[in-house]
Amino acid sequence: MTVHLRLPDDDADLVVFGYSAAHEALRSLRVLHHAKRYPLHVSWVLRTRERMDTELRSAMAEFAFWLDRRSLVIEEIWPLDGAAAWPEELNALRRAPVATFAAALIHAMLLEQQRGARIPSTEFSASTELQSRAMSTVGLEHPDSLPTVRRLIEDPEECRTRFAAFLERYWDCCLAPDWPLLQRQLTDDIAERGLQLSRLGPTAMLAHLSPYVHAASRSVTVHPPQPAQRLPPLTVELTPEDRILLIPSHFAWPELSIAVHHDISEAGTRQSVYVTIGLTAMHQQGTPPTPPAQVLELLRAAGDRTRLQILTLLSTRPRSTRELAGLIGLTEAAVSKHLGQLQAAGWVHSERRSYYIYYQLDPHAAERLSDGLRETLGSPRRRRTE
């Protein structure tokens, strides 16, 4: 869904940063479900699946609908504008009003085209029509999650207890060993983007977030990769009281997600735009490398059997076109064409001797290729020690 953001003139405090250990756990579960979409995480997925036992996999299947369809957000329990520790967030989940937890799961089941108002759990419990809609949606996509829907209807507290127990086991088994490093990378990323914000201002900084973000004047357009079902664009007029919350994540690249929430309180309505983005380092790792043009030219020219034969013959001494043609078994015209390509790439030089044109190997061509490959591929010794 494309979202057009109209920024206010006073945007000094518009952009804030944050992350949540609990939401990182939920996003990581989505990566487990869709490993093909996240090429940089393939090794992590394989390692994590080896850590999971049958019981943990079964518990994950109970909540597969909410972990697969979209990233579940429970900001009322796990605020995204801070950096709470995992034990605190797990306790917050267990202490929160069960209706708050249930409302988040209900909301995900009843969304239409990724949009929809939050429905109180009491209204859902009293409406057979809403329950039927939810059962139908979940049943079509993840039948293994139907018992969780029934439990959510009949005993929300038991549903919350099972969800918390599942997340606790998953965290201890799969994320806790890596979390100190992951958390440090998150805080470093926020610090780096904070410096960009202070130096460039909100509009320019947002334009550097991703290829899916474009900015002009006081307008920012977020255009994530379109799903199979194209959704109508959304325009959001922001005021100085609203906020854009940037949430770096280890488990977002190459995707970018955006959600708009309306927070209603006695003071009025406040809009919060949540933009979840991959770490800067992951964007860099995921950018295809650009080989040096000279290396490409040298490789293209040498990447032919006949031209490689010519280079081999020239490596011993200069030779004329006629001599090369006789040795290789081609016409002089055909050999001249190959020599022209080698000369254009910098492999050979020519000189006229009486009626003949002689070609000689450039003594520095192989060095240029070797240096270029070393620059592109790195030192084998260095790679072994990294």
User: Taking 90 as the threshold, does the pLDDT of residue 71 lie above it?
Assistant: no
Least reliable range by pLDDT among 13-22, 76-85, 163-172, 220-229 = 220-229
Residue type, 384: R
DSSP assignments along 20-53, one per residue: -HHHHHHHHHHHHHTGGG-GGGHHHHHHHHHH--
Count of structural domains within the chain: 2
pLDDT in tens, 114-130: 666 678 888 888 899 99
Query: Does residue 320 sit in the same domain as residue 379?
Result: yes
- Give CA torsion, residues 311, 314, 316, 320, to 10 deg: 160
- Laid out side by side, the sheet with 268-278 consists of 15-17, 243-249, 268-278, 257-265
Mean pLDDT, residues 231-260: 90
Least reliable range by pLDDT among 53-67, 81-95, 116-130 = 116-130
User: Taking 50 as the threshold, does the pLDDT of residue 226 lie above it?
Assistant: yes
Query: Does residue 282 sit in the same domain as residue 303?
Result: no
| Domain final position from 286, 319, 334 | 286
Query: Does residue 177 sit in the same domain as residue 312?
Result: no
195 SS3 class? helix
User: Taking 70 as the threshold, does the pLDDT of residue 70 lie above it?
Assistant: no
Catalogue the E-assigned strands of the chain. Answer: 3-6, 15-17, 213-216, 219-222, 234-237, 243-249, 257-265, 268-278, 319-320, 348-353, 356-361
Name the β-bridge partners of 123: none
User: Taking 90 as the threshold, does the pLDDT of residue 312 lie above it?
Assistant: yes
The answer to whether the beta carbons of residues 40 and 284 sit under 8 Å apart is no
| Domain final position from 286, 309, 329 | 286
Q: How many CB atoms lie within 10 A of CB 108?
A: 19
pLDDT in tens, 329-352: 999 999 999 999 999 999 999 999
* Residue 230, pLDDT score: 66
Query: Does residue 310 sit in the same domain as residue 276?
Result: no
User: Taking 90 as the threshold, does the pLDDT of residue 55 lie above it?
Assistant: yes
Mean pLDDT, residues 322-329: 96
Provide the pLDDT confidence category of residue 383 given band limits of 50, 70 and 90: very low
The answer to whether the beta carbons of residues 245 and 81 sit under 8 Å apart is yes
Mean pLDDT, residues 350-357: 91
Least reliable range by pLDDT among 138-147, 158-167, 376-385 = 376-385
Query: Does residue 74 sit in the same domain as residue 142?
Result: yes
Domain limits at 25? 3-286
Query: Does residue 249 sit in the same domain as residue 357?
Result: no
Query: Does residue 302 sit in the same domain as residue 347?
Result: yes
Query: Does residue 244 sit in the same domain as residue 315?
Result: no
User: Taking 80 as the threshold, does the pLDDT of residue 267 lie above it?
Assistant: no
Match 């290789």 to its residue by tokens.
328
Q: Domain with 351 in it: what CATH number?
A: 1.10.10.10
CA distances from 351 to 254, 328, 336, 342 (A): 53, 21, 13, 14
User: Taking 90 as the threshold, does the pLDDT of residue 97 lie above it?
Assistant: yes
Query: Does residue 57 sit in the same domain as residue 190?
Result: yes
* Residue 217, pLDDT score: 83
Query: Does residue 189 sit in the same domain as residue 304?
Result: no
* Residue 140, pLDDT score: 87
Name the β-bridge partners of 357: 352
In sequence order, which residues have a C-beta less than 8 Å from that of residue 13 and are 6 or more positions away? Answer: 240, 243
| Domain final position from 251, 286, 321 | 286
User: Taking 70 as the threshold, does the pLDDT of residue 381 lie above it?
Assistant: no
User: Taking 70 as the threshold, does the pLDDT of residue 323 lie above it?
Assistant: yes
The answer to whether the beta carbons of residues 266 and 33 sit under 8 Å apart is no
pLDDT in tens, 29-38: 999 988 999 9
* Residue 385, pLDDT score: 43
**And the tokens for 116?**
């929809």
Mean pLDDT, residues 349-357: 91
Query: Does residue 182 sit in the same domain as residue 60?
Result: yes
377 SS3 class? helix
Match 């809609």 to its residue by tokens.
133
Mean pLDDT across the chain: 89
Mean pLDDT, residues 161-172: 96
Indicate yes or no: pTM above 0.85. no
Q: How many helical (H) and strand (E) elements, i.e. helices and strands, does the chain have?
A: 19, 11
Cis-peptide into 289, omega within 30 deg: no
Query: Does residue 250 sit in the same domain as residue 350?
Result: no
Match 């917050």 to its residue by tokens.
92
